[in-house]
Amino acid sequence: MSDEPSGWRKSSRSAQQTSCVEVGRAVDGAAVRDTKDRAAGHLTATTGQWSAFVGALKSGRFDG
């Protein structure tokens, strides 16, 4: 099994946008990369870290 993330996708809400991020499946969690600069690499998060991040987004914690 490869350690490279797979199944990259971007939100359907950003279909017309060029400044987006993509999320992929990692071995033990998720990976995030810049849509415009995929060759720059990616950040990874464990399943627990990703779950906490998504929960914080949904709760409005980062709303400004």
Does residue 1 belong to any structural domain of this protein?
A: no
Indicate whether 64 belongs to any domain: no
Nearest C-alpha neighbor of 54 from the set 11, 8, 18, 19: 11
pLDDT band at 55 (very low <50, low <70, confident <90, very high): very high
Task: Look over the chain and give the mean of its residue pLDDT values, rounded to a whole number.
Answer: 89
pLDDT band for position 58 (50/70/90)? very high
CB-CB contact of 7 with 33 (8 Å): no
The count of structural domains within the chain is: 1
Taking only the tens place, the pLDDT of each residue in 28-43 is 999 999 988 989 999 9
**Residue 47 within a domain:** yes
- What residues make up the domain containing 13? 6-58
pLDDT at residue number 2: 64
Tell me if the pTM is above 0.75.
yes
Q: Do 22 and 10 form a contact (C-beta atoms < 8 A)?
A: yes
Nearest to 10 by CA among 44, 46, 35: 35
Residue 63 belongs to some domain of the structure? no
Say what percent of the chain tops pLDDT 70: 95
